[in-house]
Amino acid sequence: MEKFTLKAALEAAVRGEIEEWVHTFLETEGNNRLLSKGLKQKQRHWLGPVEVEISELKRIVGPEEEMEYVESAEDWMRRVGKIQSHLQEGWAMPPLIVQNQGGSLRVRDGNHRMGALENLGKRTCWVIIWDDESIENIKVNTFTSPLRERLAATAEHWAARPLIGNEHKYGPDLEPILRYFPREHPDIGFDWCAAFVYHCCLESGLELPVRYSPPVSRNFAWVEAWMEWAELYGFYHKFGESEFVPARGDLIVFDNLLGNGPNDHIGVVIRTEQGQLFTAEGNYHNRSGIFDRTDIAVNGYIRIVDAQKSR
């Protein structure tokens, strides 16, 4: 059901209704009324959904002897295998529901889903966490890949300076950004939002040529080149794509932000909070900056994976 997807849970969290979402899920599709009943016995404090490293989570169900609820190996493999097949077919899996217990994150609903993710070699998953005393007790490292973390920090640094171009979209601020790309006159620049992103990627350790080989049709000073490259490697996520949630270090492609039609601007997501989205960008009216881009028309996002060659 659409009501019980990651996207729906995130929307409930923005409305301040994540606890209600959890109970509705557990009492219906989640088929875990006993957990819901227990949770209602006292006030709980909720965080999420957040993306975490699977290695931070502790299963309480499985065939292992030390599990809180031991299940036969046959039943475990059957149930996990079924979920694994659903995931491979594109199932929009709901977040796991996790208890923070003395600093240990124990999976109270979704142990078989976690097992399926582990079998598929996934490193991260989305969870909703509760603590019995205070949200301040929940100490969890939300996941951002090392490469994307460096990219976000680098973009934020350069955008905040700010960089300002002259009437020719050039000048001392922009020379470090534009120097990679050929141009007809050394003192005349060009629209430099994509060049800003390229510079930040190189500074973050990502090795990219000025121009990628075909089918990428242009150099990386063009937004279109970023989209073509991302689509080639499966990094591109169209706006509204099921289960994709923009996060720190993603690239963001805008539609008509500057009045030039589709994919006319690009930047870097530096944070999302309470339904708002903040970016670091170059060449927004010929200067860099940090912007609130909540409710702005977006074409899509590029999530570069750490497997891309980096220095």
Q: Under CATH, which architecture does the 2-137 domain have?
A: Alpha-Beta Complex (3.90)
Concatenating the DSSP letter of every residue in 148-212 gives HHHHHHHHHHHHTS--B--TTS-STTTHHHHTTS--SSTT-----HHHHHHHHHHHTTB---SBP
**pTM over 0.75, yes/no:** no
* pLDDT above 80: residue 300: yes
Q: In whole angstroms, what is the distance from residue 199 CA to residue 197 CA?
A: 5
Start-to-end CA span in the chain (Å)? 43
Confirm or reject CATH 2.60.40 for domain 146-302, answering yes or no.
no
Cα–Cα distances (Å) from 276 to 49, 263, 271, in that order, read 15, 21, 8
Region(s) of the chain under CATH 3.90.1530.10: 2-137
Average pLDDT over residues 128-132: 94
- Give the DSSP H or E segment for 20: helix 18-27
Residue identified by tokens 């659409």 is 2
Region(s) of the chain under CATH 3.90.1720: 146-302
- 124-131/251-254 β-pairing: unpaired
Average pLDDT over residues 158-170: 96
Q: What is the pLDDT of residue 52?
A: 87
pLDDT digits (tens, 9 = 90+) for 264-274: 999 999 998 77
* pLDDT above 50: residue 311: no
- 104-109/276-281 β-pairing: unpaired
Single-letter residue type at 296? I
Q: In whole angstroms, what is the distance from residue 249 CA to residue 244 CA?
A: 14
